[in-house]
Structure 1
Amino acid sequence: MHPFFWTLFKIAAFSLLVGAGLSFINVSAEDVLGSIGLSPLELWIYLLEFWDWAVPNMILGSFIVVPVWIVIYLFNPPRA
């Protein structure tokens, strides 16, 4: 299995175990968010605001990064 997917699998499995343990002792996501002063709705709004900010900036940056990467890739010597 590719190392990246193996790492994602390990993170997902460990998160499931920790979530089951927290559920066993009656701790919910709302409790954790409430302890830092957020509600699930506020968290969702912050995530959407981040998405609305990040996507246009990623597209803008790719107009520079992708052509530079292509030029560097074309001028690298071939690997054996």
Structure 2
Amino acid sequence: MENGPIMLRLLSALVKIGLASLVTGAALSALNLSAAELLAEIGLTPEFVFGLMQEGAEWAIPNIVLGSMVIVPIWFVTYLLRPPRN
């Protein structure tokens, strides 16, 4: 299985990022800092950031669906026409 080590590395990286975020968040919380305060320091509000994320998703999702309508069939035909490995 070639995908096993790749998936394990990806999962490992995600767990490390999650743990690092948890530790950093706990440390900032112990210093009485919040996400809203940090955003206010750079002139942003949580609502504005959420709005940007929502606009990004509204742009990205239709483009992902449109692209997948071309890419997935090409990938499937390529997959079917590959010679067997063993």
Verify same fold: TM over 0.5.
yes
Uncovered stretches (5+) of structure 1, i.e. residues with no partner = none
- RMSD of aligned Cα (Å): 1.6
Q: Which residue of 2 aligns with 1:58?
A: 64
Taking the aligned partners of 2:64 and 2:29, their CA distance within structure 1 comes to 37
Q: Which residue of 2 aligns with 1:77?
A: 83
Percent identical pairs in the alignment equals 44
**Deviation sequence 1:18-68 (CA, Å, 0-9, x none):** 111111122210122112221001111111111111111110001111011
The structure 1 segments of at least 4 consecutive aligned residues displaced by more than 3 Å after TM superposition are: none
Number of matched pairs:
80
Taking the aligned partners of 1:73 and 1:64, their CA distance within structure 2 comes to 15
Matches within 5 A, 1:1-80: 2-80=8-86
> Which amino acid is 1:64 matched to?
V
Measured after TM superposition, the shift of residue 15 of structure 1 is 0.5
Measured after TM superposition, the shift of residue 2 of structure 1 is 2.9
Taking the aligned partners of 1:37 and 1:78, their CA distance within structure 2 comes to 57
> Which amino acid is 2:84 matched to?
P
Uncovered stretches (5+) of structure 2, i.e. residues with no partner = 1-6
TM-score using structure 1 length: 0.87
Greater alpha carbon shift after TM alignment, 1-10 vs 16-25:
1-10
